[in-house]
Structure 1
Amino acid sequence: MRTKLLLITMASFFWAVPVWPHGDKIIPQIADGAGAIRTKFDITNLSPDQKITKVKVLFFLDNGSPWSVATNRGTASEVPLELGPFQTIRIETLGTQNLTIGYAVIRNTDVTSVYPDDFYVAATVFYEVLNGPNVIDTVSVPIGEPTRSWILPVEIDVGRNTGFAVVNLTDGPNKVTLQLWEATEPLSGDPTDGGTAPPFTLNAKEHRAQFLTEAGFFPGRTKFKGMMKGRSEGPVAILALLQTSTPTGVQFATLVPAPLDSLRRNTFTYLRQGFALNADLPVVDYFFGELDTLPPGYDDSTWDVRYETQSGTARRLAPRNGAMIAAVGLRNATDFDALTL
């Protein structure tokens, strides 16, 4: 039963979703089935003093339509929440229906002040894998982030295989290329090229889930340990899964990619809602208010661009104090260095 159940769950795990507006958290895979699996969420307001009143969890089937799922808070495709300061609320599917797969969005539409961290919602999600009424395993479900270049650990051996799930976060075709690099000894040795799979193209918002040993990727591989480097023409969301056969049944672990591109937060300007940017400083602290006194060296025109909420579905970059925004598009290193303003 355990082996059959986890194989079903493995196949159902691979789902990811289109890119969403700022403030949404995407749970790439939700699964619920009687005697098989249920999903649990812990949603926390991280503010010590602000109440958040406009949070809801939306459930979707794998085709993107609303999923009315039985939870401890009723049967619905949307679960509205209000969270007091530092409050955590648990939502869990009940595992009472036929095995059904989808995804969830945790949407926070509270308009923030200039202190966006006071309106931040955190979420942790995990599966409870069932054998009848009994929990036999728990598996953490990570929240994915967009990337165009990434690495994932890979291991292929007797009783062990690595799979991946990828979703196109763009509204057009998106070509994806996967390359293996084999672990080598000694530790100072050069990496060994494990081969490159034929590129494949994802349609707009398409999702694909396969094992690396399947046809079209690396079907001749029976033993491998190392990493997979992937790249795509546009942003994707990707997760992987290590499946291992054990004497008690098949077990699996989710694998989170390490991004290699400019979408990493340490190499690009991360725009939090309500966050102000300054052309001369990496970050502008929130000193300024009607009754505040600015520190030495600051003036009352220090904000150049502000990321603003216009409505529940529209946001904008708003120049301030004579600042301007120029869209330069995709450039190679030479062309970017040659830009003049």
Structure 2
Amino acid sequence: MYYKDTSLNGACQTDNFYLCIDEIYYKQQQMNIQQLEYILAVDTFRHFAKAAEHCNVTQPTLSMMILKLEDEIGVKIFDRSIQPVKVTPTGRKVIEQARKILYQTSLIQDIVNEAEQSLKGTFRLAVLPTIAPYLLPRFFHKLTGSHPEMDIRILEMKTQPSINALINGEIDAAIIASLPGDKQLQYDTLYYEEFFGYISRNEAIFKNDLVRSADINEEKLWLLDEGHCFRDQLMRYCQMESVKINQAAYRLGSMETFMRMVESGNGITFIPELAVHQLSSEQKELVRPFAIPKPARQIILATRTDFIRSKLLSIIIESIRDNVPKQMHTLQAIQRIV
């Protein structure tokens, strides 16, 4: 017979020792991995309903589990009195520790997958917005077609958010165009990509065969907003610090938008080498190479130094390199990294 004797401070009374242990276990509010995933989701979305949708649970379930966690540890993780939800100072420390725990937990399955040479499991890959539209169509469909067991999740992110996400364990790898300075990160070079000018027929330098940095100082230039390394690299190369003030009206937008503006007869912009390969014959008439030394960028795949799944990573690297022109595998003598 199994029963509880409340006169003995809630202790269970039974001849079956294991039933007693079960009773004690289920009475306790024990922290679990799921609760940690929930608080990270709320931290990301700052909205309980959106976090619940992301975690594929109902909002009441997510809210209840977080409340149980807060009751157990004795602190409020979130300030719910304001919208969007705000993390409390102590809650921030809890979330950072939860992030580390979840990352370390994920490594357990990674160890198993690597030992079995398995490609299963989710692989979260961040790609720069100035790389994704031109690189992904070249290799992604072929890669997933050859390895249907792969579950690769693509996120478009700028450089610094990508590096931060890598360090925090929020993504597994990032395709970026600048070398990471953090000791926690390592990288493999994928290819080198040259920059090109994309010039309206109405601009004076359209008649030139080559683009020189001195030629574009006074031109109407379409630039990406701050935070894009593509923009920063070209501004350094062309010594265009003054453009920050003089061309403020032309900085916002996307590369594709700027290309359409140039095609309509307005201004100039810069595009990466892989973008040129996607252009029609008519569009290629607007393309101009830079004079020597030609500016280029080094495209790398960055991971954490404790990344385990080398088999999966090597397949992705090989697929990318196989699907870009071979001359881009090495830095040419006439090119210079900016």
Q: TM-score range by the shorter chain?
A: under 0.3
Bigger radius of gyration: 2
> TM-score, normalising length from structure 2?
0.27
> TM-score, normalising length from structure 1?
0.26
Structure 1 or 2: more helix by fraction: 2
Structure 1 or 2: more strand by fraction: 1
